[in-house]
Every structure is written in C-alpha cells, then in structure tokens.
Amino acid sequence: MKNLSFMLLLASHLAVAQQSSADWLEKGHNAQDNAEKLACFTKAIEMASQQHTAYVDRGLLLLDMNKPDLALTDFNHALNLKGKDSKIYLYSGVARHMMNDLPGAIKDFGIAIDLDKTYPEGYYYRGIAKYSSNDLDGAIRDFTKTIWIDSLYVPAFFYRAISFEEQGKLQEAISDFNQVITIDPSYISAYINKGAILSKQDRLYEALECFGKVVTLMPDNPLAYFNRGITLAKLGQHEKAINDYNQALKITPDDPAILIERGISLDNTGEALLALSDFDSAIALAPDQGLAYFNRGATKKGIGLLKEALEDYNKAIELISDHPHLLKERGSLYIDLHEYQNALEDYDKALILSPYDPDLHNDKGFSLEQLGRLKEARKCYLDALKLNPNHEFASNNLKKLEDKGIKN
C-alpha cells in the first residue's frame, strides 16, 4: 500500500512538473522578445528535462538568434529523447549548414528524407546545401524532387532557376522564374533575376518590363532602379538611365556601383566633370574598386588628360590584373602617348587572356608597325582578318603595308 501511494504521489508531482513545463513553453511562444522567450524555454527544460519539445523550441529560437552551435546541442538532446524524427533532423541540418558544416548538413537532411520520403522540406534544404557545396546537378535533382512532391513550392523553383543560370542554362532558368511569378506574382527576386538574364541576352525591352514590375511592386527597391538603369544605358537611353540611378542613390546614397554606372552615363551625355565627381565619390567609398579608376581614366582620356588617365588605368590594372579590356584600353592610351613599346606589351598580355579578339591583333600590328617591325605587323593584320574577314582597320592597315612592298 505504501508503495502504491508513493507511486501515485510521484506521478502527481510529475504531472504538475509537466504542466508547469507546458505553461513555460506557452509563455515563451507568447513572449515579445527573444531574451524572454529564451528564459521561458530554458525554464520549461528545467521543469521537465525529459521532454523533447522544449529542446526543439529553444533550438529553433537559437537558430533565429544566429546561434546554430547552441541550437545543434538542443536538437541533439531532442533526438536522444525522441529518437529518429524527420523534422528534428531537418532542424539539425539547418544548424549545421549555418555553421558551414555542409557535409554534416547534407547527411542530416538525408536522414530526414529517409525517415519521410515525401518530406518536401528535406529535399529542398538538402538542395540548398548541395548548391552551397557547388554540386549544382545534385541541387537541381533535389529541387526537382521537391517540386514533384509539392508543385507550388516556390523557393524550390527559384533556386532551381538560380542553379540553371549558374550552369549557363538560361532558358531553363527563365522558365523556372516564370513559374515562380505565376505562383507568386509578388516574388520580387524572380523578376530581378529574370530581368538580369534577359539583359545579358540583349532582350532589353523584356528586361525593362521585369525591372519596371519590381518598381511597381516595391518602389523603394534600389536594385530595380539600378538594373533598369543599366538596361536603359545599353539601349543608349542615358538620360533615363541617370534618372533611375538618381532614384537608386536616394535609397542607397553610398553605393559605389551605382555611382560608377551613373558616372558612365553622365560621360555619355557629355557631362564629363559630373562623371568625374561620381567616380571620385565611388573611389572614396571603395578605394579597391578597380572599375571606378578605369572609368575615371576613360573620362580623363576623353577630355585630353592623358597622363592623368594613365595613372588611373595603372591603378585599375593593379587591382584587376587579368582583364583583357583594361589592358587593351591602356594599350590604346599608350599609342595616343606614342609609347608604342608599352602598348605592345599590353596587347601581348591581353592576347594571352583573349586570343580570339581581332581588334587586339590589329592594335598589336599597329604598335609593331610604329616600331618598324613591319613583317610582324603584317602577320598581326592577317590574324585579325582570319578572325574577322570584314575588319576594316586591319584590311586598310594590311593594304598600306603591301603598297609599301611588305608582303612576306
């Protein structure tokens, strides 16, 4: 009888403790700030340390607080108490991913999938981890499986599109972005990414439509104005582009990339001094921004400040050493300065990086010609014409040499 009474009393105390634990959990869920939530969940664990739910709730809160290592400890406790559970393994995988333990994350997501083959989140998050591991094929397979289970799973379409884009499969990417937009017409990132692809494909008016949609949906989105400005500039509509860059800079006034692009458009509208001011501001904000130096140099070259332009080109190439266009433009500037040997050296470097550019072969030929190396120059003009039989400058330069009797 004593034993029975003791067991009943123990059960009663456990019931009170568990009820108290549930109360603390409820209080934590209703709390307004993370510190209070954390205190409540911790109290719930103290009251009933064998209940896995409190560990899970605290672990999820710790993820939100960007403390994945502590969250992972809680999820491990929950798994020890509950046993194998697909959702807890999913949460554990998310924590590992946040800790950059991608193999561990992929393993946990795999266990979640093994426990529930129809768990779309398991495939989706494993796809994200594979994407982060540069396993694009694996990521696409997992996103596809997610979509097969849940045909309205918008993030899976979005990240499959991103994966396709990185593989160069641009039509497949556009198709998936279209699916995202069909399911969720307010999905801003889908319009921006689709517009960026269309702009790369020179489908510029379609790109403008995408960026315009973003401006309508989110008028304070600087990326939409920035990308629309770039697209307008490609169409030669620099005044409109400047208006968009102005709008973007009202929202993010210290963005060097926007300042550079506005500077380029200002230069194209004849506002060289305003362009230089933008490039100066961009450099002040980001002194290691090579393109700011390059474009400032190009503007200085355009107004005849050749020595100053050379200083900017030198700095740009110091920062971006493997860009053939920069080398090509500095070579052109050296020709304007009659420094033909320096020009030749830049063209040689550029040709290593871009051997199939007919302009480079022609320009190298011109440098050689100025140095009196006429047979070598002739070969360069011939190389340019092999790459582009209609290259007017190479054809004229070759004819002038041959008129002088240089034929072999």
| One domain for residues 339 and 385 | yes
Q: pTM above the 0.85 mark? A: no
For every residue of 262-299, DSSP letters joined together read HHHHHHHTT-HHHHHHHHHHHHHH-TT-HHHHHHHHHH
Tell me how far apart the alpha carbons of residues 337 and 326 are, in angstroms, rounded to a whole number.
16
Contact 29, 48 (CB under 8 A): no
Domain extent for 314: 266-321
Contact 76, 59 (CB under 8 A): no
**Tens digit of pLDDT for each residue in 154-197?**
999 999 999 999 999 999 999 999 999 999 999 999 999 999 99
Amino acid at 352: I
Domain membership flag for residue 259 = no
Helix residue ranges, H only, 83-119: 86-98, 102-115
Alpha carbon 147 to chain centroid distance?
Answer: 24
Domain membership flag for residue 349 = yes
Domain membership flag for residue 200 = no
Tell me how far apart the alpha carbons of residues 283 and 61 are, in angstroms, rounded to a whole number.
41
| One domain for residues 337 and 408 | yes
Tell me how far apart the alpha carbons of residues 93 and 29 are, in angstroms, rounded to a whole number.
23
Domain membership flag for residue 347 = yes
Tell me how far apart the alpha carbons of residues 161 and 394 are, in angstroms, rounded to a whole number.
43
Q: Report the interhelical angle of 102-115 vs 86-98 (nearest 10°).
A: 170
Contact 53, 40 (CB under 8 A): no
Q: Kindly state the average pLDDT of the residues 148-155.
A: 97
**Tens digit of pLDDT for each residue in 191-246?**
999 999 999 999 999 999 999 999 999 999 999 999 999 999 999 999 999 999 99
| One domain for residues 316 and 338 | no
- DSSP conformational letter for 83: -
> Across the chain, what does the average pLDDT equal?
93
Residue 13 pLDDT more than 50?
no
- The total of structural domains in the chain comes to 2
Among 274, 293, 321, the domain boundary falls at 321
Residue that is written with structure tokens 């997992």 in the block:
142
Contact 18, 45 (CB under 8 A): no
Domain membership flag for residue 77 = no
**Tens digit of pLDDT for each residue in 282-334?**
999 999 999 999 999 999 999 999 999 999 999 999 999 889 999 999 999 99
| One domain for residues 297 and 342 | no
Domain membership flag for residue 271 = yes
